[in-house]
Structure 1
Amino acid sequence: MRIHILHTGKVQIDRALAYKERGLHPAPFTGWFRNSGKKIWVPVSSYLIEHPKGLILVDAGWHEDMRVNQRKHLGSLAFSMFKGELPKGHSVAERLNHLGIKARDLDYVILSHMHSDHVSGIKHVQDAKNILVSDIEWKVAHKKLGYIQSMWKDVPINTFRFTDIPYGPYKRGYDLFGDNSLYIVHTPGHSAGLVALMVKMEKGWVVLANDVGYSEKSWTQMILPGITTDRTAAYDSLKWLHNFAKREECVRIICNHDPAIVPEIIR
């Protein structure tokens, strides 16, 4: 079992998007009318899991269109809130190609949720054998603001339903292979269908927490993300990370946008 941490670009956001703030500004996470000193650059990550039963990609990073016309790719509203950067060689397709992997070699692509910085590059890997997202996330992505449907138009995405599992804030998720080696864990709050992944390694679990928090201080200090669709659920999901981090079976917790996380292979 190996997990490749792949940085598939980065994004400039207001720090209040990563760490919820209280003040006079009604929506500080937008970055509107906030000075440049409040902006931060954070990585946009994807993960390649080499599992004995298949190759799994988690999230798709930025599409290469971000190099050409960001405003068109993101839309004017999103473009007013954040900016992306995708250096040459850093798209998910380029990262996989460097590893000698084609999209058709992927047994699964799992989308943690369908916000733009996680689904933007999905067309680069649309030839994967199976692309999965939770049915809850799929439904809200077609109804709520904050999603850009053009990013996944004509991509064959399948959905799955949560069932009972031993882990997570509500003990709901999906046992991908049915052998307790890789759990997709329902961790709602930042979005309704957000999931984390638990990967069983030799010494315990590695948790890919995605956007449950933005860095280690999120769960150690219990700082919610700036955008939540359900604040109570977001707190419950973050509290689960906080508690699970203390357990002996927890090897490591990794958040998608943590600047302290560098590309590496976890063995």
Structure 2
Amino acid sequence: MAVKLFGCVCDQFHSPGAGLGMAGDRVSVPVPFYVIEHPSGVAVFDCGLHADMMQADDPYRRRLRSQEMDVSLAPEETVTRSLERLDIDPAAVRFAVLSHLHFDHAGGLNELPNATIVVQAREWAAGSDDELAARYFLPRRFFDLGHQVRQVDGEHDLFGDGSVTLLPSYGHTPGHQSLQVRTEAGDYILTADACYNCRTAETREFPAHFDGPAMNRSLDALLARRGPDTLVIYGHDPDQWGERALLSSSRG
């Protein structure tokens, strides 16, 4: 079986445009996650929103609204339903690779009971430290659920064959990571929140509350890996996702 990559959308995040480096008082952007079918098992890269976010009175949604943000999540947009549409049992997912521990990237972990979390060691350390977790908005409610955790340090070959490579891309959070996936028809670099959208990749106008110099270095390193057949997919770019899905099937 060739390596296959699928892109899924776990509904939307709503925010002032400036918070995402976008024009407009209010913007709505996709909350994507990715499914990788490999001969050695299924991996996901990020896992979207927690299903409790469907409820308007969810405590974290109330916190978001107090900061002029919000999310929307429909029953058909949960991690479980997206996997089921791909004929994948959520209980069979082997790896949950987390770009970082924010609520919209780690929220669906509770739907993947048997997955091993794969995360940068410095990100896990930040999430386990009360002060850093508060500073970087890393709520343990979403990721500290008793899963097995594989902490890696820097670049990491997930399956040992070069097809799926974790790439450190620090700056958005202390241990943010991105992912490169190689298929027969082309390569993908999934930046996650190392860069929200194509415009930011061009302007380098990162929101002020992140480590801009570190994000610039990380993005330079990611873009330097591009080849002629590489597609760079940014973290929350509505232009790349169109109606709902950028990748509905594999290229390889």
**Matching of residue 257 in structure 1 with residue 236 in structure 2:** yes
1:1-267 matched pairs, under 5 angstroms: 1-19=3-21, 37-74=24-61, 76=63, 78-81=64-67, 82-128=69-115, 130-143=116-129, 144=132, 145=134, 146-162=137-153, 172-228=154-210, 230-245=211-226, 247-248=227-228, 250-262=229-241, 263=245, 264-267=248-251
How much does 1:226 deviate? 4.6
Report what 1:28 is aligned to: none
* Structure 1: runs of 5+ lacking an equivalent: 22-36, 163-171
Tell me, in whole angstroms, the C-alpha distance in 1 between the residues paired with 2:200 and 2:249. 23
| Native 8 Å contact 2:61 2:71 kept in 1 | no
Percent identity of equivalent pairs: 26
Q: Which runs of 5+ in 2 are unaligned?
A: none
Equivalent pair of 2:96/2:118 in contact (CA under 8 Å): yes
Distance in 2 between residues matched to 1:258 and 1:61, nearest whole Å: 15
Structure 2 CA distance, aligned partners of 1:116 and 1:180?
A: 29
C-alpha contact 1:213 1:238 (8 A) present in aligned 2: yes
Mapped contact 1:133–1:157 kept (Cα < 8 A):
no
Amino acid corresponding to residue 209 of structure 1 in structure 2? T
> Cα deviation per residue 1:75-113 (whole Å; 9 max; x = unaligned)?
62x332210001220000111122221122112111110
RMSD of aligned C-alpha atoms? Answer: 2.0
Distance 1:79 1:152, change over 3 A: farther
SS in 2 for 1:261: helix
Which amino acid is the alignment partner of residue 180 of structure 2? M
- Runs of 4+ with deviation above 4 angstroms: none
Taking structure 1 as the reference length, the TM-score comes to 0.82
3-state SS, counterpart of residue 265 of structure 1: coil
CA 1:227–1:91 in structure 2 vs 1: closer, same or farther (change >3 Å)? farther
